[in-house]
């Protein structure tokens, strides 16, 4: 086999004779010939720019005011007191 059979025609990186794609640039071997990779970066984010981050956070996590309930504050205080008591018991 020729040396060129072991190099990617797009980027020149070494490839296995049985490879179906190049690890260097992503070019693929389709039906015996090499096809250059597109510009796909591996992330499928929408390009329309209509994504509202603040609306997403509000829908997924609720508003900040709704998270500050009296019950939650109570359990935070209890957790802190328990941690302090545990620390004082462990220390000599």
- Calculate mean pLDDT across residues 46-73: 75
SS3 content of the chain, % helix, strand, coil (to 5): 40, 10, 50
Position 4 pLDDT exceeds 60: no
- Residue spans of alpha helices (H) in 1-92: 53-61, 64-67, 70-90
pTM for the whole thing?
Answer: 0.34
CB 28 within 8 A of CB 34: yes
For residues 23-35, give the mean pLDDT.
77
Could you tell me which residue, 78 or 66, shows the higher pLDDT? 78
SS3 assignment, position 91: coil
Average pLDDT over residues 23-32: 78
Rounded distance, CA 23 to CA 46, Å? Answer: 26
Greatest Cα pair distance in the chain: 75
Please say if the pLDDT value at position 59 is more than 70.
Answer: yes
Residues 6+ apart with CB under 8 A from 34: 8, 9, 10, 22, 27, 28
């Amino acid at each position: 086999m020729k040396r060129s059979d072991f190099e990617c025609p797009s980027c020149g990186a070494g490839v296995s004779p049985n490879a179906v794609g190049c690890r260097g640039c992503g070019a693929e071997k389709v039906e015996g010939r090499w096809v250059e990779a597109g510009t796909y970066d591996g992330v499928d984010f929408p390009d329309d720019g209509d994504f509202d981050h603040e609306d997403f956070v509000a829908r997924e996590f609720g508003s900040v005011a709704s998270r500050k309930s009296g019950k939650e504050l109570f359990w935070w205080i209890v957790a802190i007191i328990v941690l302090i008591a545990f620390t004082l018991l462990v220390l000599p």
